[in-house]
Amino acid sequence: MATVFRIEEENHGFIGIVENDTDIIPFLVDNDWINEQSTVCVYDWEKKWCSIPLKNLFGEEWYEALLHMPVSILSTFFNGAFYFYQETVYKAPFIYP
């Protein structure tokens, strides 16, 4: 038995599975789902909710900043563009032919 994270994108549905929460951001970056120009939803007291590119929000350390965010924050941060579901999977025994 193992725990994995299933990743879905708003328009494309299922896009992948990663072994743990620290693999989510590398998966999204490596598969070209996000980059430094991807926008995220943040709350600005003057403008209410607004979209800001990751690099403008975190500078050059945008990737590192996302790596340390809990999954619950990432889900809110991407404002429904990506969904992360923790799933339990069971390994089937290897059967010889």
Residue 47 has pLDDT above 70, yes or no: no
| Integer Cα distance of 57 and 85 in angstroms | 26
Q: Tell me if 26 is assigned to some domain.
A: yes
Q: Tell me if 76 is assigned to some domain.
A: yes
Number of domains in the chain: 1
Range from 11-20, 37-46, 76-85 that averages highest in pLDDT: 11-20
Q: What is the mean pLDDT of residues 36-62?
A: 82
User: Beta 13-18 vs 39-44: how paired, if at all?
Assistant: unpaired
- 33 or 77, which is more confident? 33
Q: Tell me if 95 is assigned to some domain.
A: no
Name the residue range of residue 41's domain. Answer: 2-89
pTM here is 0.83
Residue 5 has pLDDT above 90, yes or no: yes
| Integer Cα distance of 65 and 59 in angstroms | 10
Q: What is the mean pLDDT of residues 3-9?
A: 94
Q: Tell me if 94 is assigned to some domain.
A: no
Residue 85 near residue 8, CB atoms below 8 Å: yes
Q: Tell me if 8 is assigned to some domain.
A: yes
User: Beta 39-44 vs 48-53: how paired, if at all?
Assistant: antiparallel
Q: Which residues contact 95 (CB under 8 A, 6 or more apart)?
A: none
